[in-house]
């Protein structure tokens, strides 16, 4: 994908290390002082991101190129808000359970906003704030969770290679091949099996 859709990503995607407070999950949870992380650093954890034209997703050539290059043949939409989602509060809590998938999780925010939290190599939480126009790919095997922000509304396009499988595997599921592959690809492991935090 060209530089054109990498430019301006920070206007629709921001990432920072989270505090450890138990306050409402929908709050930003910044550390004090705030500790932002670059999107290039996120990419080192396997989290890819683009900025796209959410007002014209039906005809967007850049989205078409990404879908073709990465084999995203399946597409649907998910709206997370109290008016559209039955048992809204319970659902939002369930999305916030730490889990992994055996396939990539691809989300393109076409309206609203929300948080995807991912673990770094030292198990610290990084909060990724996606807004309208942001598309992110979470690699198979990464532990993560999702929540709406205080606006309580997101409409996201879900993309998938082939038939969709939405099964979440709540932590711990370290024995799954997707988790082992993620660690091999994105978390450097030393000879004694310990995670090398300097990677």
CATH number reported for the structural domain that contains residue 48 in this entry? 2.60.120.10
Residue 166's pLDDT is what? 86
Supply the range of the domain harboring residue 182. 10-186
Determine, yes or no, domain membership for 4.
no
Give one DSSP letter per residue of 113-134, joined into a string: EEEEEEE-TTS-EEEEEEETTE
Determine, yes or no, domain membership for 199.
no
Whether residue 2 has pLDDT greater than 80: no
Judge contact between 77 and 155, C-beta under 8 A.
yes
Tokens matching residue 115: 């948080």
Whether residue 187 has pLDDT greater than 70: yes
Judge contact between 64 and 147, C-beta under 8 A.
no
- Does 173 show up as a binding residue in the annotation? no
pLDDT band at 162 (very low <50, low <70, confident <90, very high): very high
Whether residue 193 has pLDDT greater than 80: no
Looking at residues 136-164, what average pLDDT do you find? 97
Least confident of 45-49, 134-138, 155-159, 192-196: 192-196
Determine, yes or no, domain membership for 27.
yes
- Does 144 show up as a binding residue in the annotation? yes
- Does 151 show up as a binding residue in the annotation? no
C-alpha 23/C-alpha 45 separation (Å) is 27
pLDDT tens per residue, range 55-110:
999 999 999 999 999 999 999 999 999 999 999 999 999 999 999 999 999 999 99
Determine, yes or no, domain membership for 5.
no
Determine, yes or no, domain membership for 88.
yes
Total-model pTM: 0.91
Determine, yes or no, domain membership for 192.
no
Determine, yes or no, domain membership for 1.
no
Overall domain count for the chain: 1
- Does 30 show up as a binding residue in the annotation? no
Determine, yes or no, domain membership for 143.
yes
């Amino acid at each position: 994908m060209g530089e054109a859709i990498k430019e301006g990503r920070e206007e629709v995607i921001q990432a920072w290390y989270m505090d450890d407070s138990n306050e409402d999950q929908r709050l930003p949870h910044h550390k004090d002082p705030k500790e932002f992380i670059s999107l290039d650093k996120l990419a080192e954890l396997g989290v890819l991101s683009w900025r796209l034209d959410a007002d014209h997703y039906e005809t967007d050539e850049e989205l078409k190129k990404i879908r073709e290059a990465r084999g995203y043949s399946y597409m649907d939409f998910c709206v997370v808000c109290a008016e559209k989602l039955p048992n809204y509060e319970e659902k939002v809590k369930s999305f916030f359970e730490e889990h992994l998938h055996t396939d990539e999780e691809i989300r393109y925010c076409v309206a609203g906003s929300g948080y995807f939290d991912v673990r770094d190599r030292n198990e610290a939480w990084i909060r990724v704030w996606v807004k309208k126009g942001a598309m992110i790919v979470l690699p198979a095997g990464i532990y993560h969770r999702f929540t709406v922000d205080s606006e309580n509304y997101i409409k996201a396009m879900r993309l998938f290679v082939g038939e969709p499988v939405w099964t979440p595997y709540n932590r711990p599921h370290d024995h799954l091949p997707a988790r082992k592959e993620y660690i091999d690809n994105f978390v450097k492991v030393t000879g004694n099996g310990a995670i090398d935090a300097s990677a």
